[in-house]
Amino acid sequence: MTSSTGSAPSGDPELVPLADLRFDRRSPRLSEVPSTSSEEDVLERLWRESALEGLAASIALHGFLASEPLIVERAGAALVVLDGNRRLAAVRVLAEPAVRDRLGIPDLPAAAGSVSARLQWLPALVSRRDAAWQSVGYRHVSGAQPWRSYARAAYVAWVHEELGVALDRVAQSLGDGEASVRTLYRAWRALRAAEAGDVFHREDRWTSHLPFSLLVAALDRPGIQEYVGLADRSGEGGPVAEDRLPELGDLCTWLFGRRSRDQAPVVRSHEPDLRMLEQVLRGPSALAALRQGQTLAAAYAISRDSRRRFQESVLAARHLLQEAQGAMPVRAPEQTELLRAVDDLVVLIQRIRDEIEGTDPPGAPRLLTNS
């Protein structure tokens, strides 16, 4: 990992030919676009999903503002657009009739002749990726269309892992708190671990858009952290224990669904769905029901029944122990066997208490008997 100061691009913009500009496949905004997509595929994706009609109409009327130049990096004969991919897409739609025909955009206001000619050359600041990260990050969290949570996480991972910038500095560049950036990075690493472990793949998700914020919020819940074996909750260490990768795959499937299995996501919203899921994961019967394909609501109902039975059983056990204490003779016979049974009760009670408190300390005592 290298370290970067991230100084903003400076100097006067220069006019660069539209024909030389390329979309930045490493841009956080394009992080959900498959790496195999062509330039035309990227353009279509941006047009369909980034609400470019208003931007294109404004450029058609006023031209491309020199006060807001693109930020580009040289890549051989091409110029990769580090900042301004939405604007590049809008300009190409305006400047290339074939693109409008292919995308079916007949009613877009045509650029005036003089404006259309000027769109063949656009103002740009030529920079390097490792020097432009702060400027790129700031523009995309404060601009007209801020990054979604997955794009923000991709930016955090790129700047931290490739440029060697500490997470607290990344947080400053985004205007976020350090804790918020760490939760983004933790979820990013968890999703990458799921893909590396072949237990889930983003391309197999149910919806066209990845609701990454659900994973960010899910991994902030203690019950879900425990289920996937979150090894380091700060986001810096390993995201999940290796032997819990199947559980991580389950979680991603419940959050994002799987087209290959014709399986829709069971979690549709942050609340109450994530709270319900956390409760389901703490009950073996409810968890088994969810894994067998029952709805989240049905599995949650089972978990509520289990909690009620558990509460009734604990209260009944307390009553029986109170009766046993009242019936205890002055000198109980077979003391050794009774003491072993009492020791087992102590262990069971401690285990139950640990479960209620959400703890499972290492080296916990074991039952002395199986009876």
CA dist., res. 22 & res. 145, Å (int): 20
Going by pLDDT thresholds of 50, 70 and 90, the confidence category of residue 235 is: low
Taking phi over 0 as left and psi of -120 to 50 as alpha, with beta for the rest, 294 belongs to beta
Residue range 236-243: mean pLDDT, rounded: 75
- The two beta strands, 14-17 and 121-126, are antiparallel
pTM score of the predicted model: 0.71
**Could you report the per-residue pLDDT of 24-67, keeping only the tens digit for each?**
998 888 888 887 889 999 999 999 888 898 899 889 888 899 88
Tokens of 343: 């020791």
**For the chain, what percent of residues have pLDDT higher than 70?**
85
What is the CATH number that goes with domain 14-132? 3.90.1530
**Could you report the per-residue pLDDT of 291-332, keeping only the tens digit for each?**
999 999 999 999 887 667 777 778 878 888 888 888 877 665
- Could you give the strand order of the β-sheet that contains 21-23, starting from the edge strand earlier in sequence? 14-17, 121-126, 70-75, 78-83, 21-23
| Residue 115 pLDDT exceeds 90 | no
Tell me the CA distances in angstroms from 70 to 36, 104, 170, 192, one per residue in order: 24, 27, 22, 30
Helices (H), 158-293: 167-174, 178-196, 212-218, 222-228, 245-256, 275-281, 284-291
pLDDT at residue 364, as a whole number: 47
Where is average pLDDT lowest: 75-84, 279-288, 318-327, 352-361? 352-361
Tokens of 236: 């810096």
Tell me how many degrees the CA angle 129-132-137 measures, rounded to the nearest 5.
Answer: 110
- Is pLDDT larger for residue 333 or for residue 90? 90
The residue ranges of every structural domain in the chain are: 14-132, 177-282, 332-371
| Residue closest to 180 by CA, chosen among 147, 213, 211 | 213
**Could you report the per-residue pLDDT of 171-197, keeping only the tens digit for each?**
988 888 899 999 999 999 999 999 999
**Could you report the per-residue pLDDT of 194-233, keeping only the tens digit for each?**
999 999 999 999 998 899 999 999 999 999 999 999 866 5
Q: Are 334 and 328 in contact (CB under 8 A)?
A: no
